[in-house]
């Protein structure tokens, strides 16, 4: 791989890649195997994308493979619908796990055998204590835990109870299987952690076969070992679980020795990424669903029109480190613009229309004017847009009494109409509140295409749509869901919702080529990137703003901020 390819495909030099590269160089690892391990209890979000891009990226760069493994150990919260949506989302992001689709539940038989193994070795026991009692015995960060009265029960008795737990003889919560490690350990995860609990729920894949289910800690490392995962990459909150991960691997007859490494989660300002909070947004009706374009879910980003390449690019640019930080969403917007700039065709659309009459243009005359589809891509060609006596322009492109730096329409001022002519504003009609409702202009016939033969310059160019041909449309403008960078930092996060996160404009005017738009993002010139929403109906398109054109990130960079 060349340096340029490495720059593009990965973040060479991050600590994960340094570890994997070192393991290969030293002969400790031959084939790199990673995994992305979602719990099927919700939709994937952009934080998960960081993990997906890392796991699939590392495997790809080192010639290895990445598994998709569902961590389906809690049937109470998990659903088949999530299993399907997660697979669709990972594919949409651009990754393929080949034949390596796995489920922790595929390994339930083996995990159970290993539970019996630990019991026989005196390294696990069945505890009859209740969940509350176990919690009370666990101790605190400063006080050691207390040993359960069941801790020294003979292995044969624990084995018998474990088998009866499995057979469904006991009520939920009546007993658990615990590892027998060290109740005085400074690491609370080593104070005889629970390995199996009774759950009387039907499992999406194993149905009623199992009455006991392994905990995350018991299932995860052992599933890694069974699948031959070499580098088990997870987020920092599992760092304290690593000694337990290693203890289980050391004390079980596992076929391989995976290692866990932790990296910092993605935290994105003005956003929440915990499933618990995302569920509250959906169930509380604060958004229109999991795929609301304001949601940080992959389903929401897809609906908004964010291309998967932008998400991959973003994940690479934020990099992988061990220190927690808060990422500015302006960086994500920048990646979206970067991905769309070269591919999105340009169109003219007026979002807040103001009527203009060109008084010296003959009634009924229509001219077709050529317009380039994409200045960055000559192959994208051009199209013709109709121009006539009445056009729509953007209300914000007119000021009756403008400051000096305003280079758009104002009484007596000349501007260029994109792809068309120079026009001069000669008059304005207002309603009783003083709002302009109609502009009168004259055009200069010598300026067709937007240049004056006498070399005369105008400072401003505005976009427009022919009134006789305009396609009325709804356009939805999105802003951050939360008005503060860290929602919920000092109150309930719902109190920080941004009341203006969605603005619906329902009398927009689009150029006629957008009457039946292709399902691809386009750039509305001077405004931003927009993608048709599935709510569109024949003759009434609905567009989502993917991202506005103004690149605040580039500005921040330029200022050296």
Q: Which residues bind ligand ATP (CB under 6 A)?
A: 37-39, 47-48, 50-51, 234-235, 265-266, 273-275
Return the active site residues.
39, 265, 275
Q: d(Cα 381, Cα 432) in Å, to the nearest integer?
A: 46
User: Residues 340, 521: contact at Cβ < 8 Å?
Assistant: yes
Q: d(Cα 516, Cα 215) in Å, to the nearest integer?
A: 51
Distance of CA 478 to the CA centre of its chain: 15
Rounded least distance, CB 549 to ligand ATP, Å: 28
Give 55 or 544: the residue with its C-beta nearer to ligand ATP.
55
Q: Which residues, 6 or more positions from 158, have their beta carbon under 8 angstroms from its beta carbon?
A: 119, 124, 125, 126, 177
Rounded least distance, CB 318 to ligand ATP, Å: 10
User: Residues 469, 512: contact at Cβ < 8 Å?
Assistant: yes
- End-to-end CA distance of the chain: give it in Å, rounded: 33
Give 50 or 67: the residue with its C-beta nearer to ligand ATP.
50
* DSSP 8-state assignment for residue 230: S
Query: Looking at the DSSP assignment, which residues form a beta bridge with residue 263?
Result: 235
Rounded least distance, CB 75 to ligand ATP, Å: 15
User: Residues 227, 67: contact at Cβ < 8 Å?
Assistant: yes
CB-based closest residue to ligand ATP: 47
Give 162 or 233: the residue with its C-beta nearer to ligand ATP.
233
Rounded least distance, CB 268 to ligand ATP, Å: 8
Rounded least distance, CB 482 to ligand ATP, Å: 16
Give 306 or 439: the residue with its C-beta nearer to ligand ATP.
306
Q: d(Cα 51, Cα 513) in Å, to the nearest integer?
A: 40
Rounded least distance, CB 47 to ligand ATP, Å: 2
Give 69 or 166: the residue with its C-beta nearer to ligand ATP.
69
Q: d(Cα 66, Cα 87) in Å, to the nearest integer?
A: 14
User: Within 13 Å and on the Cβ side, how many CA atoms surround 123?
Assistant: 15
Ramachandran bin of 98, using left for φ above 0, alpha for ψ from -120 to 50, beta for the remaining angles: left
Give 235 or 251: the residue with its C-beta nearer to ligand ATP.
235
Give 29 or 73: the residue with its C-beta nearer to ligand ATP.
73
Three-point CA angle 179, 180, 181, nearest 5°: 105
Give 321 or 518: the residue with its C-beta nearer to ligand ATP.
321
Rounded least distance, CB 263 to ligand ATP, Å: 7
**Distance of CA 529 to CAs 99, 479, 498, 525, Å?**
37, 14, 22, 9
Q: d(Cα 279, Cα 545) in Å, to the nearest integer?
A: 24
Q: Which residues, 6 or more positions from 348, have their beta carbon under 8 angstroms from its beta carbon?
A: 371, 385, 418, 419, 463, 464, 465, 510, 511, 524, 525
Rounded least distance, CB 312 to ligand ATP, Å: 14
What tokens were used for 248? 């289980």
Three-class DSSP category at 319: coil
User: Residues 10, 54: contact at Cβ < 8 Å?
Assistant: no
User: Residues 294, 481: contact at Cβ < 8 Å?
Assistant: yes
Give 42 or 521: the residue with its C-beta nearer to ligand ATP.
42
Rounded least distance, CB 30 to ligand ATP, Å: 24
Helix crossing, 108-120 with 216-227: angle to 10°? 110
Q: Which residues, 6 or more positions from 440, have their beta carbon under 8 angstroms from its beta carbon?
A: 356, 357, 359, 425, 426, 427, 428, 429
Give 38 or 308: the residue with its C-beta nearer to ligand ATP.
38
Rounded least distance, CB 292 to ligand ATP, Å: 17
């Amino acid at each position: 791989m060349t340096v340029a390819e490495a720059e593009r495909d990965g973040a060479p030099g991050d600590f994960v890649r340094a570890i994997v590269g070192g393991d290969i160089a030293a002969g400790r690892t031959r084939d790199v195997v990673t995994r992305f391990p979602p719990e099927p209890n919700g939709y994937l979000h952009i934080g998960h994308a960081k993990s997906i891009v890392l796991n699939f990226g590392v495997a790809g760069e080192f010639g290895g493979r990445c598994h998709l493994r569902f961590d389906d150990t809690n049937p109470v919260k998990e659903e088949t619908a999530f299993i399907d949506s997660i697979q669709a989302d990972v594919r949409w992001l651009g990754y393929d796990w080949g034949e390596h689709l796995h489920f922790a539940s595929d390994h339930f038989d083996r995990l159970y055998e290993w539970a019996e193994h630990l019991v026989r070795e005196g390294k696990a026991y069945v505890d009859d204590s209740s969940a509350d009692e176990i919690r009370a015995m666990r101790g605190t960060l400063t006080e050691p835990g207390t040993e359960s009265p069941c801790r020294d029960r003979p292995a044969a008795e624990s084995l018998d109870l474990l088998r009866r737990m499995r057979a469904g003889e006991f009520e939920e919560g009546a007993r658990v299987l615990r590892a027998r490690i060290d109740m005085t350990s400074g690491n609370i995860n080593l104070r005889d952690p629970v390995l199996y609990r009774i759950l009387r729920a039907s499992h999406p894949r194993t149905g009623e076969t199992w009455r006991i289910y392994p905990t995350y800690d018991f299932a995860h490392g052992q599933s890694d070992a069974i699948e031959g995962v070499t580098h088990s990459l997870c987020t920092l909150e599992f760092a304290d679980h690593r000694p337990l991960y290693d203890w289980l691997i050391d004390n079980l007859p596992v076929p391989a020795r995976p290692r866990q490494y932790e990296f910092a989660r993605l935290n994105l300002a003005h956003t929440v990424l915990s499933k618990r909070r995302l569920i509250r947004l959906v169930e509380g009706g604060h958004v229109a669903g999991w795929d609301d374009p304001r949601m940080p879910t992959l389903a929401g980003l897809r609906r908004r029109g964010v291309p998967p390449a932008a998400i991959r690019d973003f994940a690479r640019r934020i990099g992988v480190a061990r220190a927690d930080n808060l990422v500015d969403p302006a960086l994500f917007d920048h990646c979206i613009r970067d991905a769309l700039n070269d591919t999105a065709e340009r169109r003219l659309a007026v979002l807040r229309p103001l009527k203009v009459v060109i008084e010296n243009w003959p009634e009924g005359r229509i001219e077709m004017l050529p317009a380039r589809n994409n200045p960055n891509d000559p192959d994208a060609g051009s199209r013709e847009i109709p121009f006539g006596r009445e056009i729509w322009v953007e209300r914000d492109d007119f000021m009756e009494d403008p400051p000096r730096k305003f280079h758009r329409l104002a009484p007596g001022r000349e501007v260029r109409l994109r792809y068309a002519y120079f026009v001069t504003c000669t008059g304005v009609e207002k309603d009783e509140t003083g709002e302009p409702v109609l502009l009168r202009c004259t055009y200069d016939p010598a300026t067709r295409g937007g240049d004056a033969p006498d070399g005369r310059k105008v400072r401003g160019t505005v976009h427009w749509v022919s009134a006789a041909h305009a396609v009325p449309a709804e356009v939805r403008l999105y802003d951050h869901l939360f008005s503060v960078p860290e929602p919920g930092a000092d109150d309930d996060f719902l109190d920080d919702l941004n009341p203006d996160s969605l603005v619906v404009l329902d009398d927009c005017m689009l150029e006629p080529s957008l009457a039946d738009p292709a399902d691809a993002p386009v750039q509305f010139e001077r405004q931003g990137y927009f993608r048709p929403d599935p709510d569109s109906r024949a003759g009434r398109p609905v567009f989502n703003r993917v991202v506005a054109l103004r690149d605040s990130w580039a500005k921040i960079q330029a200022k050296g901020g």
